[in-house]
Every structure is written in structure tokens, then in C-alpha cells.
Chains A and B, each alone.
Chain A
Amino acid sequence: GEDVEQSLFLSVREGDSSVINCTYTDSSSTYLYWYKQEPGAGLQLLTYIFSNMDMKQDQRLTVLLNKKDKHLSLRIADTQTGDSAIYFCAESRGGSQGNLIFGKGTKLSVKP
């Protein structure tokens, strides 16, 4: 199938690290993405990783990609209350359509 799977909820304490996991299905995906959606807001492209990379670090964000297991993770270091949002994992579909296949989103709650 074409499902992108991620857990629905994650709760952490301020200052801890958050790890959001995702599994995808299309091995031909060129890029894999993490989007952030705050309440009432649009989708913000948080970071992305090219499929031939294993890891990408961008300030507090670390993306790990395991192509063999089709597993993607997003680690947020020193999580802040402003990081509370829904995080979507997405893969780019191969072929001519070029659309993104999204997971259902992981709601991250950061407790002070």
C-alpha cells in the first residue's frame, strides 16, 4: 500500500528530547519530509532529507533515515513549549504525479 504511518501522540517535558518516528512504503521516494502544523495555521516545511542520505542535522533538528527498514525519524533537542504542534511525515510519490503522501500526523505536547 501507500500508507505512511506515524504514532498519533507524543508527550514530553520541556528541555527533553522528542523523537517522532515514521515508516513509509515507497522505496523510490526522492525526498522525505517533516512538516509542522500549529493550531489554525498552515503546513510549515520543517526539514527534508534526500533519499541517498542517512542523516541531516539542522540546529535542534536531526533527521535519521533508514532506507532498508523504510524508517524516518525526527529528533528535536531541548524541546520547548513552542514546539507543541502536529508533525507530519511525508514521502514524495514516484512517477508522474509528484504529490506527497502524508502520515496522519503526530501531536507533540510539551509540558513545562
Chain B
Amino acid sequence: EAQVTQNPRYLITVTGKKLTVTCSQNMNHEYMSWYRQDPGLGLRQIYYSMNVEVTDKGDVPEGYKVSRKEKRNFPLILESPSPNQTSLYFCASSLAKNQPQHFGDGTRLSIL
């Protein structure tokens, strides 16, 4: 089954403790992206990747890192999480830029 898989689905952690949210897709998509969803602000793009080893900042990249060592994986790294990064995070992928994007089920992060 074609899908985008995120882990974990839920995480409660404390300020400053490094964490990684994994994202994997099995559709051989070139384009992958991370969004965060916040009440009243909608969905905003954090980082995106056009292909392996090609990543770039989205609209709200501060406090996040990503890597794209393999085509299928696009982890989101919070080196020193802070409470303002408490949010619902979505990974998405598409065949290429500007093609329809398929989303994972989301990861709800709470930073205390």
C-alpha cells in the first residue's frame, strides 16, 4: 500500500532534549516536505527536499533541521526543542515539486 509513515505519532518531552521525527515513503517520490499545523495559523512548511541530498528552508525553518540521505526517508530533527515547537507535524511527499502531495498521519509533539 502506498503511504507516508511518520513516527512517533505522539511524543511528550522536555525543553532541550534532542528529538527526531522519522518520515518514510514507499512511492519512490522525489519531493518530500515537513509542515506544522497550529490553531489559527493553518499549515506552514518547515523544510522541503527536491531529491537526495537536496534540502531547503520553507517558511518556518527556525529550530529545525532535516536530512535526505536516502530517497525514501526525510527525518525532522529538533536539536534543542522549545515549548513554541509544540504542534502537530505532517510529512508529505510527491512525485516532484508541484505535483499532488500525499500526507502522513501526523505527529503530535508536546514540549514542556
Taking Cβ atoms with an 8 Å cutoff, the residues of A that contact B are: 30-31, 33, 35, 41-45, 48, 88, 92, 94, 96-100, 102-105
Contacts and interface: CB of A to CB of B under 8 A. Distances in A.
Contact of A45 (B33, B96, B98, B101): B101
Interface in B40-93: 40, 42-43, 45, 48, 50, 56, 58-59, 90, 92
A43 B91 CA distance: 10
B98 A102 contact: no
Contact of A88 (B43, B48, B100): B43
Given A33-B100, A97-B45, 11 more contacts: A31-B99, A33-B101, A35-B103, A41-B105, A42-B106, A48-B100, A88-B42, A97-B56, A97-B97, A98-B94, A104-B42
Interface residues of B, number: 26
Contact of A43 (B56, B59, B90): B90
A99 B103 contact: no
Nearest to A30: B98
* Candidate in A48, A94, A98, A100 with the most chain B CB atoms within 10 angstroms: A98
A80 to B, nearest CB: 23
B105 A99 contact: no
B97 A31 contact: no
A104 B40 CA distance: 7
* Candidate in A33, A45, A103 with the most chain B CB atoms within 10 angstroms: A45
A69 B90 CA distance: 31
Nearest to B101: A100
A103 B42 contact: yes
* Candidate in B94, B100, B106 with the most chain A CB atoms within 10 angstroms: B100
Nearest to A48: B100
Nearest to A50: B100
A98 B42 contact: no
A90 to B, nearest CB: 8
Nearest to A99: B45
Contacts of A102: 42-43
